[in-house]
């Protein structure tokens, strides 16, 4: 097993609109020929730092060239059965998603992921005598939780598991068998819709999660050999969330929490890289984050890995760009041990092949059925199942006709025979349906297994074959050129690094002047190197301080939030409940989170022994308050009977009828009249006609009723003497106001 290093490429995006409008200076020089990036220090324009990588791309680089040069070889090796990982790392808004996904509707700007789809399916279409099975899954790690982006419930968190055969894997992650570019693109599009994004000051559609698109390609030879070895290559396409600073992205609230988790997992990634490169204590902290656990094979394990470090050119991102370049420069030294994965236990292709063979065998079994009882012969297998079924059906139909035409049969016998025949026909129909189902299942399974050309191709094939061959040759030439360029870059880099060492060997000088010149040059070089090391040290110190400051700031904000929550808990949750809840809390290792166990699992709290007769602890004040009449009406001091059982009486809106007030004179007249009511009465006056006392009383009462309908004072008698309450005819005062009408004066009723 040969070890190889992680391939690191750097891509610098063009200045964006904001940077151009604000006239930021470009501080990044990309030197593609040497594979180097030079970054100028904005505060000291003369000083610069240089980093070398496997390949570097400037702002004019195009997606196709990037793919062909840096990613195609990796995808090719996945098709051969190696594991491969491509991951994009960098500050928010530097083009990670652009590199990985690109612009969906613009074919020229398609990123690595869609290009790899085309590459894989083209390769399969052009392959010979090989069967392939392609599966795709899409997940994201959001706030340290794994989510399946293509499942029905994308918010559901999944667990990471590990087993000795397959290593680390995500339990219950859905995977889709894809037969074409369209199908696999559909998986990607569905996942992208579900991906967590959010706007920050640095990028309007900043990816807030690490997204991993996984493609598994299983393949095996078909045809001659009995033993078909299956090889399985897994391709992980990782678009990391941006490394970011809280101050620049303006993150707060949920964004801040996301950012702290993003930064946590990225620093865990950085620690894994450092541990792999330094290799001092042998421990690699893969378990510090979900991301590093999932990428365990890609970093220092069984995988070929390409890391794309994305940077921006503007001066205000100097620190982040420098950090990314340092990060990438370290990753160059990670050594992986890729190997072809042969015949893994969980190969789906094998189970598909076995299932197809089983179904085919049972289909043949169904066809090869004894023809007739007693004949013992087998059904002619050269006939198709449809032909066989048609024949049998025709035979049964003929038999039916014979029975119907046979006049020697009695009715009962005929019915019996017809029934048996009908059963046979039914059975045949069921069998036919079963066979059809089996055949369609075989067809469905076979359609999932992709094959290119089967059989030997002729030397002088069709025009299509010839064109394909030419394309392949062209591609091979292109790859050769790319490889040569890479070698050239490598040699250049080696020459540069050897330059200083070579000088040390030239110790023989012909003259003093020559020695002076040589040593002056050497001194200059050494001085420059010393300067750069000193600069590096100061940069690292600055970066360390900055990171610490940022972590402290984030910690402070999070602490503030925690203190607020603690304050709420201590002031609003009674201590007994708090204790109870705390005792119910337990930490789930697998899920890596605190869980609250069910209340029924917990022992009940013992009843307070303050008083045997009380259901709950009762203070003296409460007892006192409960005994007083006033407070007993409040629920607060009630013990178990907190309900008020008395009825709520509605407010009265009517009042008792009060009869009309009768003046004493009238009352006297009435009393008198009632004493002698049986006698008719006459008024003793010659002027008046004799009247009936009943009709008189009736009219008197009516008048009285009219009077009491008008407003009047209860003490009218008292005011009647005042000048303002003079009597006016018909109750009307000269100023128009209505006054109380005078009662009729008793004129002395005399019995007849």
Rounded Cα distance between 314 and 575, Å, is 55
Question: Backbone dihedral region of 380: left (phi > 0), alpha (psi from -120 to 50 degrees) or beta?
Answer: beta
Strand-pairing partners, residue 236, are 85, 214
When CB distances are held under 5 to 8 angstroms depending on the partner's kind, the choice from Mg ion, ligand ADP, none that residue 95 binds is ligand ADP
95 is in an annotated binding site: yes
Residue closer to ligand ADP, measured from CB, 105 or 372: 105
372 marked as binding residue:
no
Annotated ligand binding at 323? The verdict is: no
Q: Is 200 in the site for Mg ion (CB under 5 A)?
A: no
Which residue carries 């990607």 as its tokens? 188
CB 159 within 8 A of CB 591: yes
Residues in the chain: 752
Least gap, CB of 583 to ligand ADP (angstroms): 45
**249 is a contact residue toward Mg ion (CB under 5 A):** no
Give the shortest CB-37-to-ligand ADP separation in angstroms: 15
Q: Is 455 annotated as a binding residue?
A: no
Q: Least distance in Å: CB of 209 to ligand ADP?
A: 11
- The minimum distance between CB 545 and Mg ion, in angstroms, equals 28
Q: Which of Mg ion, ligand ADP, none is residue 312 near (CB under 5 to 8 Å by kind)? A: none
Rank residues 12 and 78 by Cβ distance to ligand ADP and give the closer one: 12
CB nearer to ligand ADP: give 109 or 367. 109
Can you tell me the distance from the alpha carbon of 626 to that of 396, in angstroms, rounded to the nearest whole number?
A: 96
Nearer to Mg ion, 61 or 207 (CB): 207
Give the residue nearest to ligand ADP (CB): 95
**Residue 718 interface partner, choices Mg ion, ligand ADP, none, CB cut-off 5-8 Å depending on type:** none
Q: Is residue 97 classed as helix, strand or coil in its secondary structure?
A: helix
CA atoms within 13 A on the CB side of 681: 20
Backbone angles phi, psi at 497, to 5 degrees: -70, -30
565 is annotated as contributing to ligand binding: no
Residue 92 interaction partner, one of ligand ADP, Mg ion, none, beta carbon < 5-8 Å per kind: ligand ADP
Classify strands 157-158 and 160-163 as parallel, antiparallel or unpaired. Answer: unpaired
Binding piece for Mg ion, criterion CB under 5 A, among 202-210, 257-265, 448-456, 546-554 = 202-210
Beta bridge partners of residue 586, listed in sequence order: 595
Interface region with Mg ion, contact rule CB under 5 A, candidates 95-103, 312-320, 337-345, 473-481: 95-103
Cα 551 from Cα 322, distance rounded (Å): 19
**What is the nearest approach in angstroms of ligand ADP to the Cβ of residue 111?**
9
Instruction: Tell me the C-alpha distance between 333 and 329, whole Å.
Output: 8
Residue 538 Cβ, how far from ligand ADP at the closest point, in Å? 28
DSSP-derived 3-state class of residue 83: coil
CA distances from 118 to 114, 157, 185, 472, 685 (A): 7, 31, 10, 15, 133
Q: Which is nearer to ligand ADP, 68 or 539 (CB)?
A: 68
- In the complex with Mg ion, the residue whose CB is nearer, 77 or 196, is 196
The answer to whether 461 is a known ligand-binding residue is no
392 binds, among Mg ion, ligand ADP, none (CB under 5 to 8 A by kind): none
Query: 419 contacts which partner out of ligand ADP, Mg ion, none, CB within 5 to 8 A by kind?
Result: none
Q: Contact between 207 and Mg ion (CB under 5 A)? A: yes
Dihedral of the CA atoms 623, 627, 629, 631 (nearest 10)? 10
CB-nearer residue toward ligand ADP: 137 or 310: 310
Does position 97 interact with Mg ion (CB under 5 A)? The reply is yes
Stretch that binds Mg ion, among 174-182, 200-208, 477-485, 699-707 (CB under 5 A): 200-208
Rounded to whole angstroms, the Cα distance separating 697 from 695 reads 5
Q: Is 247 part of any known ligand binding site?
A: no
| Among Mg ion, ligand ADP, none, residue 83 binds (CB under 5-8 Å by kind) | none
Which residue's CB is nearer to Mg ion, number 205 or number 524? 205
93, interface contact from Mg ion, ligand ADP, none, CB < 5-8 Å by kind: ligand ADP
Alpha carbon distance 334, 286 (integer Å): 14
CA atoms within 13 A on the CB side of 401: 6
Determine the size of the site formed for Mg ion (CB under 5 A).
Answer: 3
Based on CB atoms, which residue is closest to ligand ADP, 130 or 210?
Answer: 210
> CB of residue 226 vs ligand ADP: minimum separation in angstroms?
49
Minimum Å distance from CB 118 to Mg ion? 22
Supply the minimum distance, in Å, between the C-beta of residue 14 and ligand ADP. 5
Beta-carbon count within 10 A of 76 CB: 16
Answer left, alpha or beta for residue 167, where phi above 0 means left and psi between -120 and 50 means alpha: left
CB of 327 to Mg ion, least distance (A): 17
Q: Which of 443, 449, 420, 288 is nearest to 363 (CA)?
A: 443
Least distance to Mg ion, CB of residue 429, Å: 58
Is the four-CA dihedral 102, 105, 109, 111 of positive or negative sign? positive
Q: Which residues bind ligand ADP (CB under 6 A)?
A: 13-14, 16, 90, 92-98, 203, 205-207, 242, 310
- Picked from ligand ADP, Mg ion, none, the partner binding residue 580 (CB below 5 to 8 A depending on kind) is none
**Cα distance between residue 355 and residue 362, in whole Å:** 11
Q: Is 554 in the site for Mg ion (CB under 5 A)?
A: no
* CA 94 to mean position of chain CA atoms: 24
In sequence order, what are the beta bridge partners of 137?
214
Positive or negative: CA dihedral 585, 141, 306, 199: negative
Rg (CA), the chain: 50
Q: Which CB, 104 or 670, lies closer to ligand ADP?
A: 104
Terminal C-alpha separation, the chain: 149
Q: Is 97 annotated as a binding residue?
A: yes
Which is closer to Mg ion, CB of 207 or CB of 315? 207
Cβ neighbours of 215 (radius 10 Å): 25
Q: Which residues bind Mg ion (CB under 5 A)?
A: 96-97, 207
Binding site, annotated residues? 90-97
Binding site, annotated residues for ATP? 90-97
């Amino acid at each position: 097993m040969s070890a190889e290093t992680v391939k690191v490429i750097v891509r610098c995006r063009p200045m964006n609109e904001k940077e151009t409008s604000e006239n930021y200076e470009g501080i990044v020089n990309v030197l593609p020929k040497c594979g180097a990036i030079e970054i100028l220090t904005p505060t000291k324009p003369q000083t610069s730092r240089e980093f070398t990588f496997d390949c570097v791309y400037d702002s004019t680089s195009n997606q196709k060239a990037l793919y062909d040069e840096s990613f195609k070889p990796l995808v090719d090796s996945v098709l051969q059965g190696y594991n491969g990982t491509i991951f994009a790392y960098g500050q928010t808004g530097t083009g990670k998603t652009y590199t990985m996904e690109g612009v969906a509707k613009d074919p020229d700007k398609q990123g690595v992921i869609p290009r790899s789809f085309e590459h894989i399916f083209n390769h399969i279409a052009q392959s010979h005598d090989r069967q392939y099975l392609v599966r795709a899954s899409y997940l994201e790690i959001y706030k340290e939780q794994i989510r399946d982006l293509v499942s029905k419930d994308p918010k559901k968190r999944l667990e990471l598991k590990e087993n000795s055969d397959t290593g680390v894997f995500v339990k219950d992650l859905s995977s889709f068998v894809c037969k074409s570019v369209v199908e696999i693109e559909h998986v990607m599009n569905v996942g992208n819709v579900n991906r967590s994004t959010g706007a920050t000051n640095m990028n309007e559609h900043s990816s807030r999660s690490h997204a991993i698109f996984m493609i598994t390609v299983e393949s095996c030879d078909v045809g001659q050999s009995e033993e078909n070895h299956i090889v399985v290559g897994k391709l992980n396409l990782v678009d990391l969330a941006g490394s970011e600073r809280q101050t620049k992205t303006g993150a707060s609230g949920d964004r801040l929490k996301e950012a702290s988790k993003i930064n946590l997992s990225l620093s865990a990634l950085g620690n894994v890289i450092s541990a792999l490169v330094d290799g001092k204590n042998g421990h690699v902290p893969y378990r510090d984050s979900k991301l590093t656990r999932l990428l365990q094979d890609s970093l220092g394990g069984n995988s070929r890995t390409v890391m794309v470090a994305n940077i921006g050119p503007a001066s205000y991102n100097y620190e982040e760009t420098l950090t990314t370049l340092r990060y990438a420069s370290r990753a160059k030294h990670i050594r992986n041990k890729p190997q072809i994965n042969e015949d893994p236990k969980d190969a789906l292709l094998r189970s598909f092949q076995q299932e197809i063979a089983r179904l085919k065998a049972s289909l043949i079994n169904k066809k090869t059925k004894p023809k007739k009882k007693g004949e013992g012969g087998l059904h002619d297998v050269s006939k198709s199942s449809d032909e066989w079924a048609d024949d049998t059906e025709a035979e049964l139909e003929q038999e039916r006709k014979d029975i119907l035409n046979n006049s020697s049969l009695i009715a009962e016998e005929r019915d019996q025979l017809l029934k048996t025949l009908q059963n046979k026909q039914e059975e045949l129909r069921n069998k036919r349906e079963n066979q059809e189902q089996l055949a369609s299942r075989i067809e469905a399974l076979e359609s999932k297994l992709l094959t290119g050309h089967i059989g030997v191709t002729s030397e002088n094939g069709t025009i299509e074959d010839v064109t394909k061959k030419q394309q392949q040759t062209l591609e091979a030439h292109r790859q050769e050129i790319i490889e040569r360029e890479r070698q050239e870059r490598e040699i250049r880099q080696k020459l540069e690094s050897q330059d200083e060492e070579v000088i040390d060997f030239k110790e023989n000088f012909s003259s003093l002047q020559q020695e002076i010149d040589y040593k002056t040059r050497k001194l200059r070089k050494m001085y420059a190197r010393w300067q750069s090391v000193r600069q590096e040290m100061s940069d690292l110190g600055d970066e360390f301080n900055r990171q610490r400051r940022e972590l402290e700031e984030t910690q402070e904000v999070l602490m503030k939030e925690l203190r607020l929550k603690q304050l709420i808990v201590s002031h609003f949750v009674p201590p007994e409940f708090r204790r109870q809840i705390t005792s119910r809390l337990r930490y789930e290792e697998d899920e890596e989170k605190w869980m609250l166990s069910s209340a029924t699992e917990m022992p009940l709290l013992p009843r307070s022994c303050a008083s045997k007769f009380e259901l709950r602890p009762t203070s003296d004040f409460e007892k006192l308050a409960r005994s007083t009449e006033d407070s007993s009406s409040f629920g607060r001091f009630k013990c178990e009977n907190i309900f008020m059982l008395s009825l709520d009486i509605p407010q009265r809106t009517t009042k008792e009828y009060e009869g009309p007030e009768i003046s004493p004179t009238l009352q006297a007249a009435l009393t008198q009249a009632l004493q002698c009511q049986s006698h008719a009465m006459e008024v003793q006056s010659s002027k008046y006609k004799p009247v009936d006392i009943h009709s008189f009383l009736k009219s008197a009462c009516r008048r009285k009723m009219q009077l009491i309908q008008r407003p009047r004072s209860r003490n009218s008698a008292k005011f009647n003497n005042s000048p303002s309450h003079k009597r006016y005819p018909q109750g009307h005062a000269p100023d128009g106001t209505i006054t109380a009408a005078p009662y009729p004066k008793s004129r002395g009723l005399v019995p007849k």
